[in-house]
Amino acid sequence: MLAELGALAMIVGIWLLRRDAQLLRERLSSVVQREQRTWDKLLMCTVVLVWGGWFVLMGLDVGLHGTPQVPNWLQVLGALGIPLCGAMAVLTFRENSYASPVVKIQEDRGQMTVMTGPYAFVRHPMYAGAIPYFLGTPLLLGSLWGLVLAPFIIALLGLRAMMEERTLDAELPGYEDYAAQVRYRLIPFVW
């Protein structure tokens, strides 16, 4: 898992450095920033704590059992979730140079509503791409408790998407019309 994540981070990082260094700087910035809404600061701190606790839980779960609790084929399926997440991130970054880790409107950079690429299918493709990661990681590690907690983390992403949309509707020109055209937030034909 660490090799997969490390390789993915290097590949995406080098690609972003060559394609959009400003977006790379933004993505590497803190998850808590001065311009950020208070609700997003609180939510992101919660996500960081839950995410860290999730990894500790999975380590303890597998460590206490001594072996993975899922069949090998599910571990392989889980391993595929990480590059799928990375591919969705690249597709998102290719279309949206404003993909900040915090909710903020980047007026100084002329932020506009993005409607192309994966944004033509879901309004939050980065969050959609995280779903295979959050389901795949516990499968790869063989942790049933990690898999049990994954829907809670995905629900936090859904909550953030809904809260983020309030800001986008109110402050980003064209977003309200875009949201009327692209009905789904995370999963096409579902939600």
Amino acid at 41: K
Residue-wise pLDDT for 45-65, tens only, equals 999 999 999 999 999 999 888
User: What pLDDT shows up at residue 50?
Assistant: 96
105: burial class by Cβ within 10 Å (0-12, 13-18, 19+)? middle
Residue 173 has pLDDT above 90, yes or no: yes
User: What pLDDT shows up at residue 138?
Assistant: 96
Return the domain boundaries, the chain.
2-181
* pTM (whole model) above 0.85: yes
Residue 48 neighbours by CB distance under 10 Å:
12
DSSP category for residue 29: S
Residue-wise pLDDT for 100-151, tens only, equals 999 999 988 899 999 999 999 999 999 999 999 999 999 999 999 999 999 9
The domain over range 2-181 is classified in CATH as 3.30.1490.190:
no
> Is the separation of the CB atoms in 116 and 65 below 8 Å?
no
Tell me which residue of 77, 93, 161 sits closest to 123, measured CA to CA.
161
Tell me which residue of 183, 178, 166 sits closest to 113, measured CA to CA.
178
